[in-house]
A and B are shown apart, each in its own frame.
Chain A
Amino acid sequence: MIKTIKIVSVLIIVILAFNLRYKNFYEVPISGSSMDEYSYSWVGFSLIKNGYPVGLSGLPGYKNIARRYVNSDLVLNKVASGPLPLNYPWFDHPPALGLLTGGFAYIKGAQNLEDIRLQVARQPMVILGTLSVLLVFILAYVNFGYMVAIISSAIYAVEPMTVIGSRMIQGENGVIPFMLLSLIFISIYLKSNNFHKLIWSGIFAGISMLFKLSGVVSVIACLVLILLLDKKKSKLVDAFSLVAVSLSIASLFGIYGLFYDWTTFKNIIFSNASRFYGIGADSIYRLLARTSIVSNKNLPDGWILVGWMSIFSLLGIKNKKKLLIIIPLLAYLIVYIFFGSYLYFWYTLPFLPLLAIASGYVIQKIIIKKQLIKGVFLSIIPLGVGISSIISLSYFQVFALYWRIILPILLVLFFIGEYFKNKKVTSIGQYIIYFCLLTALIANSIFVLKFGINSWYSFSW
């Protein structure tokens, strides 16, 4: 019976995640928020249809450039862009994501680049996003147990930045599921010592690099985890095996470059290295504090801050398993800082599943250990943000008095309960924290479901 309830709970979260991602998926983010979405799909489509990759770039180093107006979704009537710089053969990023979205558009009947509409090309992203929620559950379950997995996947399923960001055709959204798969298999390997699981981890880490080179985070994270957590004498052989498998797969991008034009390929790889460092010196602050999906479009998401607070909290917890979250996060932080080019939100997407698991772990620990004051802080942030996203400030005045009175009373009560270890107060406190978190998740779901094209223009936060 309990097993059935557990499975049904996971299914509910996955179905909810799919519905939230699917609703308005082609309206929000609006077409033209990032021309990369078209470029990725054009590359995959032209590879399949014409055997040659054509995409948008503008990077120096390309020999072939054509400026044309390709008006998919009538995007050039909404965004001032000028003629689009089409480069070929296109090597900005590996082509796996383009093959997925462009290939899907091809199957659905697109005849040329302009025929590719986000309504079609974003559909595989909805599936990938939903799959990532399931993988967050599995990764958290393998390492931290059922309750942490449920909390983490529920957060990742509904938080607005994740839901809306996961719809975008961006390489990071392809990196995430394969990074999670490689971490799942490395976790199983570290527990079971099954060498084939290590190979699978290497395969998935390699595949993540075929979506975007920043997928190297999967290889780095798994390698460091082996070196730190593998207790066997053979860990150097294991580390070598992982790197050999993953880099052999990643080398397909180099072979692809060799196949089409090695000189241009080299030029673009070096050209990428000398990109403008637009994230600036305040990148870490912005990473922690910023919730804008595109410039000037902030979304109400309290979970990101909770995630970072949880990471800091995790650092103080004595548990080696925490490294399974901390190491990938640090590895991606290094990749983010090193490769950082612009302050685009999608560059930060791979942090989010790790932050969700960290949040799930810390929230669960807080509830078990009855650390009510910490619990109030961690739950009141997403609760407050969630409420303010669905209730206007003027309407909130109706509840203002209750909020003013109840919140301080709770703080005092929880302090007394925690300080004097009052069992009655602490057990009531646990339920109140659960209630706050559940309300926050429901508020997030309502917000995302209502966030369509009109809200995109009218909503401000």
Chain B
Amino acid sequence: MKVKNSDKLKIICKYIGVFYLFTGIVYLFLNNRLKDRKSFVLQDQILYNYKISDNDPCTTSILDDPQQSETSYFKVNFHCGINKSKYNTFSLDAIKNHTARSSIDEVLRINQIKLPNDWSCYYERNLITDYNQEIVYGRTIDCFAPGISVADIYSKP
């Protein structure tokens, strides 16, 4: 099909006119539909929800890079047996409340694991009685399966 130069320019002008008219309509429609986009807040439920892939806390661990989070890192370790432990290093920047409960929950959520109720956890080798207690960067929580104690792990040569 042979098209004259003047007709080509007419076709292009029409095309661009229709294209931007359609784009404008879509823009206005979306602008109306997503009115509150400017006040968007990134909520946790957009990112993830808690799910369990494994019941054994010692199947996996976070491979964090302490260099990236060295100013804010925190450790949560799970000891399932004397020779079966998993060590997790993670950044406290990723959680809102810096409490024992929220840090343990965050590690469980990331690893998609569950901690049995009969386990006991220690913050800097002191038994945690109040899980709402505040925690500090650079420290460690250790959680032990029944029958395993702090001494079993930390007195190893």
Contact = CB atoms under 8 A, between A and B. Distances in A.
A83 B91 contact: yes
A411 interface: no
Nearest to B9: A237
Interface residues of B, number: 47
Contact of A194 (B1, B30, B40, B93): B1
B4 to A, nearest CB: 9
B64 A111 contact: no
Given A112-B47, A199-B15, A248-B20, A83 B93 contact: yes
Contact of B46 (A81, A112, A241, A255): A112
B134 interface: no
A78 B2 CA distance: 60
A79 interface: yes
A111 B46 CA distance: 8
Contacts of A286: none
Contacts of B68: 81-83
B69 A52 contact: no
Contacts of B90: 69, 83
A319 interface: no
Contacts of B93: 67, 83
Interface residues of A, number: 48
A80 B27 CA distance: 41
A248 B63 contact: no
A50 interface: yes
A105 B80 CA distance: 36
Candidate in B69, B94, B109 with the most chain A CB atoms within 10 angstroms: B94
B61 to A, nearest CB: 7
A241 B23 CA distance: 19
A46 B91 CA distance: 24
B156 interface: no
B70 to A, nearest CB: 10
A62 to B, nearest CB: 12
Nearest to B69: A82
A454 interface: no
Interface in A57-88: 64, 66-71, 74, 76-83, 86, 88
Nearest to A198: B8
Contact of B63 (A70, A80, A113, A196): A80
A241 B40 contact: no
B111 interface: yes
Candidate in B19, B34, B112 with the most chain A CB atoms within 10 angstroms: B19
B43 to A, nearest CB: 9
B11 interface: yes
B94 A245 contact: no
B48 A112 contact: yes
A32 to B, nearest CB: 9
A51 B20 CA distance: 22
Contacts of A199: 11, 15
Interface string A232-266: 00100110110011001100100100011100000
A35 B62 CA distance: 16
Contacts of B53: 74
A49 B68 CA distance: 31
A193 interface: yes
Contacts of A27: none
Nearest to B59: A77
A77 B47 contact: no
Candidate in B8, B11, B49 with the most chain A CB atoms within 10 angstroms: B8
Nearest to A199: B15
Nearest to B68: A82
Contacts of A89: 40
B54 to A, nearest CB: 10
Contacts of B111: 71, 74, 77
Given A52-B40, A68-B94, A74-B53, 9 more contacts: A46-B46, A51-B37, A71-B111, A71-B112, A82-B67, A195-B1, A238-B8, A244-B15, A244-B16
Interface of A: 46, 49-52, 54, 64, 66-71, 74, 76-83, 86, 88-89, 111-114, 193-196, 199, 234, 237-238, 240-241, 244-245, 248-249, 252, 255, 259-261
21 contacts: A50-B46, A52-B34, A54-B46, A66-B42, A67-B91, A67-B93, A68-B48, A69-B106, A71-B110, A76-B63, A76-B64, A77-B62, A79-B63, A83-B91, A83-B94, A112-B46, A240-B12, A244-B12, A248-B16, A249-B19, A260-B37
